[in-house]
Amino acid sequence: MDLYSLTIHEAHELLKKREISSVELASAVFDRIGQVDDKVCAYLTPAKDRAMADAGAADELIRRGEMRPLTGIPLAIKDILCTEGIRTTCGSKILEDFIPPYSSTVAKKLADAHAVIAGKTNLDEFAMGSSTEHSAFMPTHNPWDLTRIPGGSSGGSAAAVAADECIGAIGTDTGGSIRQPCSHCGAVGLKPTYGRVSRFGLVAFASSLDQIGPITKDVTDCALLMNEICGHDPMDSTSVSRSVPDYTEALRPGLQGLVVGIPKEYRAEGMDEDVTEAVTAAIKVIEGLGARCKEVSLPHTQYALATYYLIAPAEASSNLARYDGVKYGFRDNTADDLTQMYQNTRSNGFGPEVQRRIIIGTYALSAGYYEAYYGKASQVRTLIIEDFKRTFETCDVLLSPVTPTPAFKLGEKLDDPLAMYLSDIFTLPANLAGIPGLSVPCGFSKQGLPIGLQILGKHFDEEKLIRVAYNFEQATDYHTRRPRL
């Protein structure tokens, strides 16, 4: 048995029975990283020495009977969450050498649960991208086909899970950045309701859209990670003071009485035939499990892409103003005056996609244009929220594709930003509305590439998403397949 191929719950049981140790498990994961990460490029900063020390400490806790579900489990964290003493780059040259003096709330929760942090994973710079090609350091490759993208921006975390370079991982989702790479890599990914997971210590891209969530090998692991990372945090003013259920209680059979909506607007022109077939077949499986499916309408979906690409860049423009070469991070020392130093630092420190979004956002917020662009986008966002609220009055969940196509070739859309943005067309409405969304493997293309099914629910109804995903997973075998590297 290859220990690195275990799920969180499988590894937990073996650790609990003392059939394996956390040190053995972590060693197997780092051996796997050594074997395949030169091909996949999932990690920016492996943290082996610290991880092995933490694994030894976890083994001592297990010996004393002080064990929690994540104790001794090697996990990876997207490199946009601050980790005290471990480099946090955000995939950007401007933070290439930044070592945070504190940890994000989520990283701290994982440490308190005695998980083992294997390292920090690659991402599109400041989480701005859909392919993990916009990292300042290297692109990540899809473990199913190394010539293709893993999705983004949490591509490093999704690829690490798919390639068995960790037992589970943490990603972030601003417009689909957990769900889209999980669809492309054959993993399970959940974007929780906005406010369900603390954003303290998450380096901000778009503050009203960003959310942290789990990336795992199966739905059971997703529930286990959700149990640990959710909850109110006074350090985050947007964190919701609401009790956290035990998500593992949603792992029960049967979907009888569930009403499932199929949004007619989530059928994009030019949608890949394999995606259509896989999602259609998945809907039939869910009907066969007792759910009742019906067509619904979300009429303002057509405006979601334009709305998102005004709101997200506007917030990014504001959030990234702090990177000026003065307080921390990269500083260009060739300038003769302060203004030139600012210009050179930001021009040389930020990559082209980040610069593009800062320019779009600054324009949308500028005097004379604010009401016409950002203000109008905020009004349309409200209409999108109302669409979902109205639909959830008669439906428990919605089903749709995660992406219009399977993973595309590396470099295929780098010179066409609009084509890249369109790959998030099915995921970003959930971020605008703040509702939870989950991607679960539902098939493969003719080229053997994974395809994901998206399950959307009402605010704070993650349990229902997990229940539907779990039942679908138990009725199929897509989650059991692994890429050959």
Catalytic residue numbers, as ranges: 78, 153, 177
- Sign, CA torsion 207/465/197/323: negative
Task: Name the packing angle between helices 273-288 and 462-475 (round to 10°).
Answer: 100
Residues 70-109 as b/e (b if ≥16 CB within 10 A, e otherwise) read: bbbbbbbbbbbbbbeebbbbbbbbbbbebebeebbbbbbb
Instruction: Determine phi and psi for 202, rounding to 5 degrees.
Output: -85, 125
Q: Using CA atoms, how far apart are residues 414 and 420, in angstroms rounded to an integer?
A: 7
Instruction: Determine phi and psi for 372, rounding to 5 degrees.
Output: -70, -30
| The one-letter amino acid at 25 | L
Closest CA to 423 of 437, 402, 440, 443: 402
Q: Using CA atoms, how far apart are residues 345 and 331, in angstroms rounded to an integer?
A: 5
Closest CA to 462 of 74, 117, 87, 195: 195
Locate 310 and state its tokens.
């005004």
- Return the CA Rg of the chain: 21
Which alpha helices (DSSP H) does 320-351 contain, by range? Answer: 338-349
DSSP H or E stretch at residue 311: helix 304-319
- For 387-392, which contacts have Cβ atoms below 8 Å and span 24 or more sequence positions? 387/298, 387/299, 387/300, 387/301, 387/433, 388/298, 388/429, 388/433, 388/435, 388/456, 388/458, 389/458, 391/261, 391/263, 391/296, 391/297, 391/298, 392/457, 392/458
Q: What angle do CA 62, 64, 68 make, to 5 degrees?
A: 45
